[in-house]
Amino acid sequence: MQLPPTLTERKHVSTLPSPHRIVIGARAHAELAELLHAARRDLEIRGSSTSQVSADDLSWADTYVGFMRPALPTMGNVRWVHCTGAGVDAWLYPNELSRDILLTRTSESFGPYIAEWALSRALAIRQQLLDLAECQRRHEWAPRDVGYIRGSNAVVVGTGDVGAHVARLFSALGATVHGVSRSGSGDPAVFASTSKTSALPTLAATADWLIVTVPLTTETRGLIGRDVLSACRGAVLINAGRGAVVDEAMLPEALKKGWLSGAALDVFAVEPLPADSPLWDDRRAMVSPHISGLTTVEGAVNGFLECVEEIERGQKPARTVDRDRGY
């Protein structure tokens, strides 16, 4: 027997947004709009790149789909924002999206993509691929010893979906993987051990790979700071979380002093990475332009439609962002 909804539940259902007019702000807006229109012809859709979204668009729309906030003073009549990326920090920091606006995030798993990105960097470093490519360019035969992932020790900061996928790949190649999270929990089938973030300096001293996969929240901002970096003993920092989780200004010193032997960085405090950043010219740093886990068109549309269907059933979307936790 199904019980009738409580007063609180009825009140919540009545406040859910009713999506009809959708603005998409993304580079792939045309592809997103085409796929969404094919699935739901009842929805009115406008699309443009994020920088081209206008105040008129936001006044017309009740729903916005995109990774970044448009550079406008308000969100107009928008009552629901669906973030298409893995992290929602662009909607929370430095100015939080009004809590009167529902904020949801994609259901797409970026773990497999980011895990491949992290492992490719680790293999490139161990196998000295960049240096060998330079030797080839010079027609130089350069025998040397190379290293392996097998037998190394990885500390993965973040034991959620992304961190677990990273751990699986590194474990498959013979690394021992330890997880670190706010709660100190993680899948024991994936991580050799898990610890709370307070243990990071101690664990960093044992790491060959310090891999960051956590989202940016008030708790994780600056998490990888001097205390953690100075505890490292030649680890390679791999950051696919968010730039501000790491004290980026400390990285040149950490590399110079040998706390870090290298860094593979996909995210930065300011993006694009400023041209005068010393990281560009440091041969120990591998820079990539925030491409480790790109949203797919199908994943973005499917995640949005899942939320639409839940709302139309009178349910709060399962992917609603917890504003206090930041994800």
Out of 3.40.50.720, 3.30.300.210, 3.40.630.150, 3.40.50.620, select the CATH number for domain 111-287: 3.40.50.720
Query: Which entry of 69, 105, 178, 242 is annotated as an active-site residue?
Result: 242
Helix/strand/coil for 218: coil
Catalytic residue among 290, 306, 310, 319: 290
* 195 close to 179: Cβ distance less than 8 angstroms: yes
Provide the mean pLDDT of the chain.
Answer: 95
| Tokens matching residue 219 | 């708790």
> CB within 8 A of 198, min separation 6: which ones?
none
pLDDT of residue 12: 42
Q: Of 6, 28, 274, 262, whose CA–CA distance to 127 is shortest? A: 262
Active site residue 31: no
CA-to-CA distance for 265 and 138, rounded, in angstroms?
Answer: 27
Residue 111's contacts (CB-CB under 8 Å, 6 or more residues apart) are 161, 162, 163, 164, 165, 166, 293
Inter-helix orientation angle 29-39/297-312, to 10°: 40
Hunting for tokens 């990774």 — which residue is that? Answer: 67
What are 149-202's pLDDT values in tens digits? 999 999 999 999 999 999 999 999 999 999 999 999 999 999 999 999 999 999
Q: Is the peptide bond before 274 cis (omega within 30 degrees of 0)?
A: no
Q: What is the DSSP letter of 326?
A: T
The ranges of the chain annotated as CATH 3.40.50.720 are: 7-108+295-312, 111-287
Identify the three-state secondary structure at position 3.
coil
Q: Is 138 a catalytic residue?
A: no
Which 3 state secondary structure label does DSSP give 262?
strand
Cβ–Cβ under 8 Å, residues 83 and 66: yes
The pLDDT of residue 15 is 80
Average pLDDT (245-265) is 98
pLDDT recorded at residue 50: 97
- pLDDT bucket at 325, cuts 50 / 70 / 90: very high
Per-residue DSSP letters for 270-303? Answer: SSSPPTT-GGGG-TTEEE--S-TTPPPHHHHHHH
Say whether pLDDT at 259 is over 50. Answer: yes
Question: Which of 134, 271, 298, 312 is the catalytic position?
Answer: 271
Q: Is 20 a catalytic residue?
A: no
Q: How confident is the model at residue 296 (pLDDT cuts 50, 70, 90)?
A: very high
Q: Kindly write down the DSSP assignment for every residue of 241-269, as one continuous string.
A: S-GGGB-GGGHHHHHHTTSEEEEEES--S
Cα-trace Rg, the chain: 22
pLDDT tens digit sequence for 42-88: 999 999 999 999 999 999 999 999 999 999 999 999 999 999 998 99
Cβ count near 318 (within 10 Å): 10
Name the fold adopted by 7-108+295-312: Rossmann fold (3.40.50)
For residue 277, CA distances in Å to 186, 234, 266, 289 come to: 35, 22, 14, 14
